[in-house]
Structure 1
């Protein structure tokens, strides 16, 4: 479905730029060596953007009364307000052009969660903070798929993030033209089995949302739909849900497969369900049968190809 260029925001240090406090970087091999073949990156280093030098003293989040500073360990040089202002500007001026964002974990400016907040004396901390820049990006763009570099080492979270990026890009393409119930319904039908694999109830609820629309406010309908879709896809699909989805797909071939072929497919699905083989094994078999026995409805299902095959994301889940 997706054709135009996908743009993803990324913390500049993850792109290999030497912008960290120690003049180093934290290059993400997955982002820069694999995913970069399919996307363009817009790089951000909020700390440099607000005037901090390279190299520079470390900064941390420090709780002072009811406020939180982003400052040096001695409490000086608070850049919290500048980081917030910069984050708001990027969130409102550029983030709408992005289809995802990869943040640097543990950073007081870019971390998505569990950032250490120190007490004023520097003798203790809690891990409850959010990076000041990342917070603004996520606050002003709640549907934007966001992830941290460390979490992308988890194959399930990596696959889920990339899938959501491509889904969101497809939605952005759809919204380039006037929205209508017909176009929304077509979009929903293409995501039927991907939704089923992640959240069957959400699939039913979103279908009902479209089916009961009274024609009053299509823009509101579109907003409600994409909010529900992105929320449903945020949790990685379980083996149980994927297996049930594969069984649904198997039903399309019950009249065209011989007894041996049916058993082979059932066995592949069962082996996946039991954790003996990755998802691509039964899925490849289903796609083979689809090629031999074409089905126009199934051909349009995003579930089969939610992102480029050469990323090999289903080899590890």
Structure 2
């Protein structure tokens, strides 16, 4: 099965340094993630960062925490409230957002007052954290400069659905960057969108139609203005996690390309496995494996180009638990 979107060059990911085992945390320790340091390290080049060390805080050090308005918190010392590192962390986030222009994603340390993406505690004057919870100062500044970049926290990557979704978006982002390097043309943009048809149908079918309409009158638009808008909407659509129902719908669509090639018994087996997947009896990899088997015997050029069939390296086995 052809997988042209996955190149020999490893996509580059920024990552919180402590997740790779660097002893940079406030207590002099680390938070090594074996998923990152062992499994993902085979497929990605990592750019490790620790913003707290980068702005001059020592190791070990007095921990910091977020205080004040959850929408615009400050990062201060837990013991000495006069230690306020909000501005340095934000400035470093903006600086690194400018320097790391070649990354295709970022894995952040969860619950960190500098790096946390979701539900970071923001303490009030009474000493209790507020709801809603905030986002780390560095992470907020960095992500504001790269709104389309795939970002995720280490803890959420333990969820197989979120993990597969994140890695899928990373490779989509990487392929888009490659397209820009090669030179964007109307034909290449149309071809790119065509290859993402079934992946979009699985994650956000309405957005697939919307993006198609956007490209429908491409000749009337300046491609340099339209392409970034297209890509932004694509990445937003891919954030949605596919369900058993939407995956099943896509599997049915793709299997339709085999209706002239398969025997009645083969069609029945295919339908049975899709049904079992929809009901939660078998994982996605089971009907996908049979589908790929049939397309190896009965190749179809259009289907062979579809990212959906292999959006990430097969050896990552990301669809085994879906």
Fold shared by both chains (TM-score > 0.5): yes
* Cα deviation, residue 52, structure 1: 0.5
Aligned residue among 60, 78, 83 for 1:77: 83
| Alpha-carbon distance change, 64 to 152 in structure 1, aligned in 2, over 3 angstroms | closer
Distance 2:69 2:103 in 1: 35
1:273 to 1:66, Cα distance in 2 relative to 1, 3 A: closer
- Deviation digits for residues 179-203 of structure 1 (CA, Å, limit 9, x no counterpart): 2211100001111111111111111
Deviations 1:58-94 (A, max 9, x none): 1101117996321112312111110011001001121
Match of 1:169 among 174, 178, 181: 174
Q: CA deviation at 1:208?
A: 1.5
Q: Which has the higher contact order (CA 8 A, sep 6+)?
A: 2
Structure 1 match to 2:313: 308
Select the residue among 275, 297, 304 that pairs with 1:299. 304
State whether structure 2 residue 60 is matched by structure 1 residue 55. Answer: yes
Give deviations 1:157-181, integer Å, cap 9, x for gaps.
0000000000000000001133221
C-alpha distance in structure 1 between counterparts of 2:291 and 2:69, whole Å: 59
Aligned residues: 316
Q: 2:233 aligns with which of 206, 209, 228?
A: 228
CA shift, 1:125, in A, is 3.6
CA–CA distance in 1 between the matches of 2:91 and 2:275? 53
**TM-aligned CA deviation for residue 8 of structure 1:** 0.1
Q: Write the mapping of 1:31-42 to structure 2, written as runs, cut at 5 A.
A: 31-42=36-47
Residue 92 of structure 2: aligned partner: 86
CA distances 1:24-77 after superposition (whole Å, capped 9, x unpaired): 111111111111101100010000001110001111011179963211123121
C-alpha displacement at 1:120, in angstroms? 3.0
Please say if residues 70 and 130 of structure 2, whose CA atoms lie closer than 8 Å, have aligned partners that are also in contact.
Answer: no
- In the other structure, the counterpart of 1:267 is 272
Alpha carbons of structure 1 residues 66 and 143: separation in structure 2 relative to 1, 3 Å = closer
2:6: which partner in 1?
2
In structure 2, the residue matched to 1:43 is 48
CA gap of 1:93–1:289, structure 2 versus 1, over 3 A, is same
Q: Calculate the aligned-residue CA RMSD, in Å.
A: 1.5
Could you tell me how far 1:261 is from its partner in structure 2? 0.2
TM-score by length of 2: 0.95
Match of 1:245 in 2: 250
CA distance in 1, matches of 2:290, 2:201: 19
Aligned to 2:215: 210
Q: Secondary structure at the match of 1:27?
A: coil
Would the aligned equivalents of 1:2 and 1:173 in 2 still touch at CA under 8 Å? no
Asked whether the equivalents of residues 73 and 122 of structure 1 are also in contact (C-alpha less than 8 Å), the reply is no
Moved more, 278-287 or 211-220: 211-220
* Counterpart mapping for 1:186-197 below 5 A: 186-197=191-202
TM-score by length of 1: 0.96
Cα offset, 1:124, TM superposition: 4.5
* Counterpart pick for 1:288 among 278, 293, 302: 293
Give the whole-Å Cα distance in 1 for the aligned partners of 2:71 and 2:12.
37
Tell me, yes or no, if structure 1 residue 185 matches structure 2 residue 215: no
CA distance in 2 between counterparts of 1:112 and 1:64 reads: 16
Q: Structure 1: which 5+ residue stretches go unaligned?
A: none
Counterpart-to-counterpart distance in 2, 1:232 and 1:70: 33
Question: What is the alpha-carbon distance in structure 2 between the residues aligned to residue 265 and residue 315 of structure 1?
Answer: 18
